[in-house]
Amino acid sequence: MKRTVPLLITAFGGFVLIISYFIPATQGWGETVAIWFDVLASIAFILGGANLLKIHLKKVSDWQSGWGFSAVTISAFIITLYVGLTKMGVNPSTNYPDYVWSGSYREMGAPFWWLYEYAFKPLTATMFAMLAFYVASAAFRAFRAKNTEAILLLGTAFIILLGRTFAGVFLTSWLPESLSGLRIENLTVTIMQVFNTAGNRAIMIGIALGIASTSLKVLLGVDRSYLGGGED
C-alpha cells in the first residue's frame, strides 16, 4: 500500500501529462497536475527548513566538529527568514498606504534587499568565480598528450581556444581568400558546427530515448527502485 498509492499517483499524473500534450481539450488537466506538484513542492519547503534547523541545531548542541559553520547557518537562516517575513524596513505600498505590510519585501534599500545585494550575491558570485580556477586545473589534466586520443583532444581544444581570441584571428589573417577555410576562426566554426554538433546530437538522441524509456518504466511501475526496491 505504501508503494502502490505513490505508483498510482505517478502513473495518473504522467499519463494525464502525455494525453494533454496530444489532446488540446485536456491541456488544462496537464496544467492542473503541474500545479499539484508546485503545491507539494511549496509545502516541502517547510519540511526542508525544519530539517535544516534540526540537523544544524543538533550539531551545535552536540559540539560536533564544524559546529561553528552550523551556528552561522542557523543565524543566517533565522535572520533572513525574520527580515523577509516581517518585511522589516519596508515602506507601505502607495496603493495601500494605511497597511504597514503592503509594501514589497524586495523594496530597494530595505534590510532584505540589503542582505540579498550585499551578502547573498557576493557569496554566490565568489563561488561561481572559483569555476575559472577549476576549469584551468581540469584542462591541465585533460589536455596531457598521453595517447593519440588525448593528442587529438589537445589539438582540437587548442584550435578552439585560439579561434575564440583575437590572437587566433591575427595569426592566420595572412592566408589568402582561397584558403580562408584554414583560418583559425573558420576552423573553430567548422569544428563546432560539424564535429561538435554531430557528437552532441548523437548524445541528445540517446538521452531522448533514455528519457522516454525511463519515463515509461516509471509510469508502468516496472522500475520502482526510486521508491526503494521492487516489493510492496
- Look-up of cell digits 498606504: 97
CA separation for the pair 63, 54 (Å, rounded): 14
How many residues of this chain bind another protein (CB under 8 A)?
Answer: 61
> Is 205 a residue that touches another protein (CB under 8 A)?
yes
Residue with cell 496537464: 30
Kindly list the distances between the CA atom of residue 157 and the CA atoms of 147, 152, 160, 188, 194, in Å, as whole numbers in the listed order: 15, 8, 5, 9, 15
Residue of 81, 135, 145, 182 that binds another protein (CB under 8 A): 135
Q: Which CB, 30 or 169, lies closer to another protein? A: 30
Determine if 21 is a binding residue for another protein (CB under 8 A). yes
Residue placing its CB nearer to another protein in the complex, 106 or 217: 217
- The DSSP 8-state label assigned to residue 86 in this structure reads T
* CB distance 112 to 106 below 8 Å: yes
Distance, CA of 55 to CA of 231 (rounded, Å): 31
Binding mask 100-129 for another protein (x = CB under 8 A): --------------------x--xx--xx-
To the nearest whole angstrom, how small is the minimum distance from the Cβ of residue 99 to another protein?
A: 26
CA 126, 127, 133, 135 torsion-angle sign? negative
- Counting contacts by CB under 8 A, is residue 32 touching another protein? no
Q: Of residues 9, 81, 151, 207, which one binds another protein by CB under 8 A?
A: 207
Q: Are 191 and 156 in contact (CB under 8 A)?
A: yes
Among 83-91, 178-186, 187-195, 202-210, the segment contacting another protein (CB under 8 A): 202-210
Nearer to another protein, 139 or 182 (CB): 139
Round to whole Å and give the CA distance between 25 and 19. 10
Residues of this chain that interact with another protein (CB under 8 A) are 18, 21-25, 27, 37, 40-41, 44-45, 47-48, 51-52, 55, 58, 65-66, 69, 120, 123-124, 127-128, 130-131, 134-135, 137-139, 141-142, 200, 203-207, 209-218, 220, 222-223, 225-231
